[in-house]
Amino acid sequence: MATDDSSDLRSLIDRARARDEAALSQLLEMHNRRLLESVRAELGDKLRQRLESQDIMQQVYLDALGSIDQFVDRGHDSFFAWLRRIAVHRICDADRRAFQTLKRGREVRAGDLGRDASMTRLFEALAATSTSPSGAVDFAERERLLKQALDQLSADQREAISLRYFHQLNVAEAAAKMDRSERAVRSLCVRALIRLRELLGDAI
């Protein structure tokens, strides 16, 4: 039985490497609960006051989708170990950004006056999942481009993004509002962020 399970796992990994989103979603779902527990433990009580576990999970899924071809299968539990390494890197990055924001303090708050906070949160999420440097585009122009890009998403993707970033609901709350599973909402958000990142390019 263990051999069959191992074979099934290798098959899923091979399909995911070929950009089979259903296979990757299944792989992530298999490890979701354990990875979430690991992320919560890694965050600790102090970091959890500033960082949302589900946001870290979403960034891990985006990273996994974008770099699955780099995964090296080293046998038992190696896929979970790979996801956990991605999560640790993302937590460190998020903690560093949060610290820098707190350090700038009054300067950051003054700079945000008059801006749409919900748009700012969405741009932060996009920037967190991007490997390219941010372009020299002012906020008003970035906001205009983002609104245009949002119009190009599917209705379900727009609703998921709106609930998660504009209304600041967590995944469970957004799933209840949409009458969808948490897995479906996470998938919608991941695909929407990938599409927005493609549409916006250097604007993020």
The CATH class given to the 2-104 domain equals mainly alpha
Where does the pLDDT of residue 52 fall: very low under 50, low under 70, confident under 90, or very high at 90 and above? confident
Under 8 Å between Cβ of 163 and 38: no
For residues 161 and 189, give the distance between their C-alpha atoms in angstroms, rounded to a whole number: 6
What pLDDT, in 10s, does the model give residues 86-115? 888 888 777 676 555 544 444 333 333 234
For residues 110 and 114, give the distance between their C-alpha atoms in angstroms, rounded to a whole number: 9
Where does the pLDDT of residue 18 fall: very low under 50, low under 70, confident under 90, or very high at 90 and above? confident
Residue 122 has pLDDT above 70, yes or no: yes
Where does the pLDDT of residue 178 fall: very low under 50, low under 70, confident under 90, or very high at 90 and above? very high
Other residues' Cβ atoms within 10 Å of the Cβ of residue 93: 13
Other residues' Cβ atoms within 10 Å of the Cβ of residue 185: 27
What is 114-203's CATH number, 2.40.110.10, 1.10.10.60, 1.10.10.10, 2.130.10.10?
Answer: 1.10.10.10
